């Protein structure tokens, strides 16, 4: 980096650290009395938009606890509850050294500290901490401070000491087990060190372990418990998207869906002529044809042909009208076989996009050779790679489509049908199901991956809930 650019970066960082937040000269102290049972408006706690108050599910337990686990649906108010608890710890003198752990450095900065419900936003002007990004430090006027940590770098927790801890979105951490072990070792000063954990639940062995710990106290809040402080459009959107789905239990109701016999797509109806296996998925010449191929570094190769069919203003249906699987073929032979299969389908070889899994470009003897072979057969105009994404996120996306009846497969796709039926979670050592697919589960894994990758290529945003711009929606602040 040039010296001039480095100096400019340093000046920008210094400006960020020194930038004061504007204080309102007419601040009403009652606005910041989060743990009060009522307000002057006479509205029940958690309902008033002028005087934010904690709902019962946002208040820490009265009895002794080591870990306060707040499971919540999206936008249920988890961040606000934990930020207010941190503020209370500091203002009451119970905490002087705090650990703040986010999934990434951007998460602890943009959500836990600077977010709409972050520590700085909810703090009163007379006790607002100063954030120093370069030091990963948040410092209060009374001398208490917090050190920020990212789950991407667990080892950076070594040598630190805390009397309080806030761990946010634990189920989204990159190295959950290792990070949790290290920060618990840091929680070793003060008379009664405590940790608050906020997360939307997922099937995670660590989460189950924390829930089972006798020193843990659990609170569970749904998205709808906070609806008075959310934009109505947002509530309508997530209700339409997740209602009556297994993923909705997790994302909205903060429940962990049970897994029967490890089946990943437990709600898939394999009955021919039913909800998911139906001739209405036949090729339609009005819509583009998309081919997704799992051709990574394994000996199996799989492909699915699909179309995106508009259903209404907000939804589309995925029709899969062709599948293919083979074992032991070299890349060139596999590519030619898939091309022949494409020519034999009702689409007569039409291909608007061809997408390979990202492993086809891996720096191995197989990866680059695979991509080159497929490019030769299908042509550079239509070929590419589907977006990189976490397998679990892609599985959630497919699950949501299955639950809503928006994935329909033609009866001729017998191999894909069997793959979906047999695609399973990997069993753990203690009878639980891990949040990763069974490996190897071929040919089921390859066909399921081709389906997942093809869908993610068409909808790269996934099925994440996107919150509205809360700065533009009056009284929609998440509390």
User: Digits of tens for pLDDT over the chain (479 positions)?
Assistant: 444 555 655 555 555 444 444 455 567 888 899 999 888 888 888 888 888 999 999 999 988 999 999 999 888 999 999 999 999 999 999 999 999 999 999 999 999 999 999 999 999 999 999 999 999 999 999 999 999 999 999 999 999 999 999 999 999 999 999 999 999 999 999 989 999 999 998 878 899 899 999 999 999 999 888 888 888 888 887 777 776 666 777 778 787 766 555 678 888 888 889 999 999 999 999 999 999 999 865 688 999 999 999 988 778 999 999 999 998 888 889 999 999 999 999 999 999 999 998 876 554 444 556 888 899 999 998 999 999 888 878 888 898 899 889 999 999 999 999 989 888 766 655 445 455 666 655 667 889 999 999 999 999 877 644 333 333 333 222 22
Instruction: Decide which of 3.30.420.280, 3.90.400.10, 3.60.10.10, 1.10.10.10 is the CATH code for 279-458.
Output: 3.30.420.280
Q: Comparing C-alpha atoms, which of 476, 28, 118, 164 is closest to residue 128?
A: 118
What per-residue confidence (pLDDT) applies to 372? 87
In tens, the pLDDT along 210-256 reads 999 999 999 999 988 888 888 888 888 777 777 666 677 777 878 77
Phi, psi of 317, rounded to the nearest 5 degrees: -110, 140
Question: What are the backbone dihedrals phi and psi of residue 109, each rounded to the nearest 5 degrees, phi first?
Answer: -75, -55
**pTM more than 0.75:** no
**Pick from 404, 384, 349: nearest CA to 454:** 384
Domain regions of the chain by residue span: 54-234, 279-458
Question: Does 3.40.50.920 match the CATH number of domain 54-234?
Answer: no
CA dihedral 422, 423, 429, 435 (to 10 degrees): -160
CA 252 – CA 239 distance, rounded (Å): 9
Q: Strands, E, within 200-332: which ranges?
A: 216-221, 290-294, 300-310, 316-327
Instruction: State which H helix or E strand residue 436 sits in.
Output: strand 433-437
Q: What are phi and psi of 204, to 5 degrees?
A: -140, 125
CA-based nearest residue to 148, from 118, 190, 193, 177: 118
């Amino acid at each position: 980096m040039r010296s001039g650019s480095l100096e400019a970066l340093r000046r920008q960082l210094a400006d960020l650290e020194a930038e004061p937040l504007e204080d309102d000269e007419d601040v009403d102290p009652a606005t910041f009395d989060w743990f009060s049972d009522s307000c002057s408006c006479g509205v029940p706690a958690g309902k008033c938009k002028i005087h934010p108050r904690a709902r019962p599910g946002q208040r820490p337990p009265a009895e002794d606890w080591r870990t306060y686990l707040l499971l919540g649906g999206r936008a249920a108010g988890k961040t606000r509850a934990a930020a207010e608890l941190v503020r209370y710890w500091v203002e009451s003198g119970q905490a002087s050294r705090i650990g703040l752990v986010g999934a990434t450095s951007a998460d602890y900065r943009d959500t836990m500290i600077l977010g709409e419900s972050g520590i700085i936003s909810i703090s009163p002007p007379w006790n607002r901490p100063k954030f120093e990004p370069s030091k990963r430090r948040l410092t209060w006027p009374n001398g208490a401070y917090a050190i920020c940590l990212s789950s991407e770098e667990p080892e950076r927790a070594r040598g630190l000491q805390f009397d309080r801890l806030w761990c946010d979105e634990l189920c989204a951490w990159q190295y959950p087990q290792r990070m949790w072990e290290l920060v618990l070792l840091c929680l070793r000063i003060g008379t009664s060190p405590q940790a608050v954990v906020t997360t939307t639940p997922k099937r995670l062995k660590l989460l189950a372990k924390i829930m089972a710990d006798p020193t843990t106290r659990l609170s569970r809040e749904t998205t709808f418990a906070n609806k008075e402080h959310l934009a109505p459009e947002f509530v309508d959107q997530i209700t339409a998207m997740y209602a009556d789905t297994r993923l909705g239990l997790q994302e909205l109701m903060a429940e962990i869906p049970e897994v029967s016999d490890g089946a990943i797509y437990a709600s898939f109806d394999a009955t021919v002529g039913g909800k998911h296996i139906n001739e209405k998925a036949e090729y339609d010449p009005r819509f583009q044809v998309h081919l997704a191929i799992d051709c990574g570094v394994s000996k199996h190769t799989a492909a699915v042909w699909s179309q995106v069919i508009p259903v209404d203003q907000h939804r589309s249906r995925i029709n899969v009208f062709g599948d293919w699987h083979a074992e032991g073929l070299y890349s060139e032979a596999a590519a030619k076989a898939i091309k022949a299969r494409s020519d034999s389908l009702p689409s007569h070889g039409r291909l608007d996009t061809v997408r390979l899994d990202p492993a086809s470009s891996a720096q191995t003897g197989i990866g680059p050779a695979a991509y080159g072979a497929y490019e030769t057969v299908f042509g550079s105009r239509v070929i590419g790679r589907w977006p990189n994404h976490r397998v679990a996120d892609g599985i959630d996306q497919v699950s949501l489509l299955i639950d809503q009846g928006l994935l329909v497969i033609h009866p001729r796709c017998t191999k894909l049908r069997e793959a979906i039926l047999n695609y399973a979670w990997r069993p753990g050592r203690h009878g639980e199901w891990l949040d990763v697919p069974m490996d190897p589960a071929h040919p089921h894994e390859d066909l399921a991956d081709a389906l997942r990758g093809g869908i993610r290529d068409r909808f790269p945003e996934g099925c994440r809930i996107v919150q509205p711009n809360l700065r533009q929606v009056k009284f929609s602040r998440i509390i």
